[in-house]
A and B are shown apart, each in its own frame.
Chain A
Amino acid sequence: MKFIHDLIEKQKPMFEKGGKLEKLYYVFEAGETFMFTPPDVTKAKGVQVRDAVDLKRVMMTVVIALLPAIIFGLWNVGYQHHIATGEAASVGEQLLIGLQLSLPIIIVSYAAGGTVEAAFAVFRNHPITEGFLVTGILIPLVLPATIPLWQVGLASAFAVLVAKEVFGGVGMNILNVALTARAFLYFAYPAAISGDKVWTYLGEGTSTVDGFTGATFLGLAVEAQNQGVAVADFVGKAAHWASDPMSLFIGTIPGSIGETSALMCLIGALVLIWTKVADYRIIISGILGALAMGVLLNVLAPEGATYLQMPAYYHLIVGGFAFGIVFMATDPVSASQTNSGKWIYGALIGVMTVIIRVLNPAYPEGIMLAILLMNVLAPLIDHYVVNANKKRRLKRATV
């Protein structure tokens, strides 16, 4: 491998100060350090040895934790297509349809956001960081497979620019970047990301099976309440896909590409918690918060308010809750940074998600807005936690 490294090193002068392409130094450097961990050594003063970890590895861990959700999601896109059209198809064919639809979305997401990121690195003279490695794949996973590609590109570029770079880049952002991309599309182009036309890819000239519905579970739940029918019964009748709790948990239901399977998110969560890349406090308190709010609504539910009466655990396995709480809420930059803060932050995300879902008829899904709202409040939570520490320290002084 040394000769490859030497070959790359030979190009370096072109990018260094005074070189023809000096402006692109950090683009070159990003490529070089992607291929090779650089031969940098610790400084004379300061620690003489360093931990084997680096940001690339941490980010890669998240991507790996996402793999089950990605693969399942790709398959599910094809599966939903086939149960909607009534065609018989093999798992391979279903995966292929998923790939055909999703791969372009993933590529566009990386390309658009990555370009903005690289452009900022060039203009502002700082290294390209690895954060986008994760953001670039998260964005496609929270979008429906039918989304127009130009919207993906626009959202990805917008999110990197407005949610991250204007705040100073990686580590400085207040909002989760991938969710900002989704929220942008949600409010700018609602027709492409909400309602009941977008979740299942049908293809041109195909017919649908009898009893086909394009709506998601959450959409149907609102409808069930309007008609005063128990949610599970209503969805069971209205949907052409299986809606027993086990199917919901496994995730063979319509929804955004990567978000439908609570099971795959659970596997991802175990990876993230075991590697300590994500904080278990946020995930656990989020789940407890959602359950508690669900139970509270059960208790308070008036007669006929069937959505309020829906068993609380449904909230964990339908919609994007599992995906959001595992992969989005745990983003360390936009989450609370103190341990006690993380408990509060996670719990409130769970509570808010259920409130928005059930009590606000305008938005069928609540996890996105709940996380964005708590992103904004996270510094406030930390402020109080840190203040408590300051007071504790001060108190000690007078004793």
Chain B
Amino acid sequence: MSNNVKLKKGFDIKLVGEAAESIAKNIDTPTTFAIKPEDFPGMIRPKAVVKVGEKVKAGDPILIDGKLEEVKYTSPVSGEIVEIQRGERRKLLAVVVKADAQVEYKEFPVKPIDQVSKEEAQAILLESGVWPQLVRRPYAVVANPSDTPRALFVSAFDSHPLAPNYEFTLKGQESFIQAGIDVLKKFAPKVYLGLSGSKSSALFDGLAGVEKNKFSGPHPAGNVGVQIHHTAPVTSANDVVWTISPEGLAQVGKLFKEGKYDAKRIIAVAGPKVDKPEYVETYAGVNLETISVAKIKGDNVRVVSGNVLTGYAVGKNGFLGYYSNMVTALEEGNKARFFLSDGWLAPITSRLSFHKAFGLLGSTSKKYALDTNTNGQDRPFAVTGSFEKVVPMDIYPMYLLKAILAYDYENMEALGIYEVAEEDLALCEFIDVSKHDIQKIVRQGLDTMRLD
């Protein structure tokens, strides 16, 4: 059985600086790597389980959540713990590892996947640090080992702006991905794979044991949340499904086939401020300093871990996020603009808009070198009807957001809080005339429902 879902709603933000399909050479080897609690929005009490100076192998635990201790967050590389970064009130920010020249892996047991029991598999996934790749809906947080998910969902393409092409980054890893699926089927009886409707996939088309559905249309067609909504929607707080990225699947497969936690990752380094945008081979949590030196041009630049919709600014010396599959570099838009020359009353073509209000003359099909300017200030919700046009789900985003802001549990539930994650409404935040922090509001709603 295979569906072909054609989505009309959504919006593609086209940016200059798409990564060419080549791996960058002559980038100095990065020396430090980190794991950051902020990448895991469900984490309640992050705790470092190592001390500065301790030696670790790739796959040794370095961080846990005090409220969910079974799940280990492990070192992506082998080396020495050099820093435990803390912020205000000793809030844990990052555990930093200085990498060895040659990565040494902690060894995990290897045996044929059909002979591994669910309990064994769970123990290995939890211990190795691969488990956090499993994200649960509702709430979009790291899966709980006590969950019994109804299904596992994988989106086989990333439709975010400048997103990496999995066909390139995961080339040759078909067998690991298949192994990952075989392992996770022990947990979730059904696995759904959402393929891009616009092209065939050498990587995913041959996979067995999954139900394949095709999704076409503008972003967010590649968001797993949207795909779940159109395949087998999450309907209540107890209706648990898991999601995982294709990279996560390959990681699971490698863990069981080779017995190691391989955090190797090919990331896209893209965006208007990147010199020769292409891919870089590195490990999760890499410090971006050497990549910035080699690839990023200019000083007034924002370096983002992830894409421009769901990523976050880390700076040239920041660390790549656990789930980030790319780095985006943009110009900081910290310049005032006179209202008649290029401000709010001037016709402009250099800035992208989903809207067509007066003077917004830029075509939506051209590629833009956008900067980080907000192009306006916070205002009360005034314009209606536009959020619906970028959310391809049977959900009223404005009503849901207002229910969240009012802590109206009943309405949040009825209006679809269990079906969304921040990324699913990220486009609303982009197009919002009133410049609200919509993803933050969504997370507030998810936290409210999850913790109360």
Q: Measuring CB to CB, which residues of chain A are less than 8 angstroms from any residue of chain B?
A: 1-2, 4-5, 33-58, 60-61, 64, 127, 129-131, 169-172, 274-277, 279, 332-333, 335, 337-339, 342, 386, 389-390, 392-394, 396-397
Can you report 11 residue pairs joining A to B where beta carbons are below 8 Å apart? A38-B374, A38-B377, A41-B332, A41-B334, A45-B440, A51-B431, A52-B348, A53-B357, A276-B356, A392-B394, A397-B235
Q: Check A337/B398 contact, CB under 8 A, given A36-B338, A61-B358, A276-B356.
A: yes
Q: Are the C-beta atoms of A36 and B339 separated by less than 8 Å? A: yes
Name B415's closest neighbour in chain A (CB-CB).
A390
Q: CA–CA, A380 to B357, complex, Å?
A: 29
Among the stretches B17-25, B242-250, B379-387, the one at the interface with A is: B379-387
Q: Check A48/B379 contact, CB under 8 A, given A36-B336, A53-B353.
A: no
Out of B333, B357, B434, name the residue touching A57 (CB < 8 Å). B357
Q: Are the C-beta atoms of B337 and A52 separated by less than 8 Å? A: no
Name B429's closest neighbour in chain A (CB-CB).
A47
Q: Check A275/B356 contact, CB under 8 A, given A386-B399, A397-B236.
A: yes
Name A43's closest neighbour in chain B (CB-CB).
B437
Residues of chain B lying within 8 A (CB to CB) of residue A53? 353-355, 357, 360, 375-376, 431, 433
B171 CB to closest chain A CB (Å) equals: 28
Q: Are the C-beta atoms of B373 and A37 separated by less than 8 Å? A: yes
Name A172's closest neighbour in chain B (CB-CB).
B380
Q: CA–CA, A333 to B381, complex, Å?
A: 8
Q: Are the C-beta atoms of A41 and B357 separated by less than 8 Å? A: no
Residues of chain B lying within 8 A (CB to CB) of residue A40? 373-374, 377
Q: CA–CA, A77 to B116, complex, Å?
A: 88
Residues of chain B lying within 8 A (CB to CB) of residue A54? 344, 375-377, 379, 433, 435
Q: Are the C-beta atoms of A52 and B375 separated by less than 8 Å? A: yes
Out of A2, A44, A52, A393, name the residue touching B360 (CB < 8 Å). A52
Q: Are the C-beta atoms of A169 and B380 separated by less than 8 Å? A: yes
Q: Are the C-beta atoms of B302 and A61 separated by less than 8 Å? A: no
Q: CA–CA, A77 to B334, complex, Å?
A: 48
Q: CA–CA, A49 to B309, complex, Å?
A: 7
Name A171's closest neighbour in chain B (CB-CB).
B380
Residues of chain B lying within 8 A (CB to CB) of residue A42? 372-374
Name B399's closest neighbour in chain A (CB-CB).
A386
List B residues 379-436 near A (Cβ within 8 Å): 379-386, 388, 394-396, 398-399, 414-416, 426, 429-435
Q: Are the C-beta atoms of A332 and B385 separated by less than 8 Å? A: yes
Residues of chain A lying within 8 A (CB to CB) of residue B378? 127
List B residues 223-265 near A (Cβ within 8 Å): 233, 235-236, 239
Name A2's closest neighbour in chain B (CB-CB).
B336
Q: Are the C-beta atoms of B235 and A396 separated by less than 8 Å? A: yes
Residues of chain B lying within 8 A (CB to CB) of residue A169? 380
Q: Are the C-beta atoms of B354 and A51 separated by less than 8 Å? A: yes
Q: Measuring CB to CB, which residues of chain B are less than 8 angstroms from any residue of chain A?
A: 13, 233, 235-236, 239, 302, 304, 308-313, 328, 330, 332-339, 341-345, 348, 351-360, 362, 370-386, 388, 394-396, 398-399, 414-416, 426, 429-435, 437-440
Residues of chain A lying within 8 A (CB to CB) of residue B239? 397
Q: Are the C-beta atoms of A49 and B308 separated by less than 8 Å? A: yes
Residues of chain B lying within 8 A (CB to CB) of residue A337? 384-385, 398
Given contacts A46-B429, A57-B358, A58-B357, 10 further A-B contacts (CB under 8 A): A37-B337, A41-B332, A41-B333, A43-B437, A46-B440, A53-B357, A54-B376, A54-B379, A332-B384, A386-B399
Name B304's closest neighbour in chain A (CB-CB).
A48
Out of A46, A277, A389, name the residue touching B394 (CB < 8 Å). A389
Q: CA–CA, A2 to B395, complex, Å?
A: 45
Q: Are the C-beta atoms of B375 and A338 separated by less than 8 Å? A: no
Residues of chain B lying within 8 A (CB to CB) of residue A339? 385, 388
Ranked 6 nearest A-B pairs via Cβ: A54-B376, A171-B380, A52-B351, A397-B235, A61-B358, A37-B343
Q: Are the C-beta atoms of B426 and A47 separated by less than 8 Å? A: yes
With a 10 A CB-CB cut-off, give which of B312, B313, B380, B429 has the most chain A CB atoms. Answer: B380
Name A169's closest neighbour in chain B (CB-CB).
B380
Q: CA–CA, A19 to B438, complex, Å?
A: 33
Residues of chain A lying within 8 A (CB to CB) of residue B395? 389
Residues of chain A lying within 8 A (CB to CB) of residue B396? 338, 386, 389
Q: CA–CA, A172 to B381, complex, Å?
A: 8
Residues of chain B lying within 8 A (CB to CB) of residue A50? 372-376, 430, 432, 435
With a 10 A CB-CB cut-off, give which of A36, A44, A49 has the most chain B CB atoms. Answer: A49
Out of A33, A34, A61, A170, name the residue touching B382 (CB < 8 Å). A170
A339 CB to closest chain B CB (Å) equals: 7
Residues of chain B lying within 8 A (CB to CB) of residue A392? 394
Q: Are the C-beta atoms of A275 and B357 separated by less than 8 Å? A: yes
Q: Check A129/B344 contact, CB under 8 A, given A39-B373, A53-B431, A390-B415.
A: no
Q: Are the C-beta atoms of A393 and B416 separated by less than 8 Å? A: yes
B438 CB to closest chain A CB (Å) equals: 8
Q: CA–CA, A372 to B239, complex, Å?
A: 44
Name A56's closest neighbour in chain B (CB-CB).
B344
Name B353's closest neighbour in chain A (CB-CB).
A52
Residues of chain A lying within 8 A (CB to CB) of residue B371? 41, 49
Out of B309, B339, B353, B372, name the residue touching A37 (CB < 8 Å). B339
Q: Check A60/B344 contact, CB under 8 A, given A35-B339, A45-B312, A47-B439.
A: yes
Q: Are the C-beta atoms of B385 and A279 separated by less than 8 Å? A: yes
Residues of chain A lying within 8 A (CB to CB) of residue B388? 339
Q: CA–CA, A103 to B333, complex, Å?
A: 39
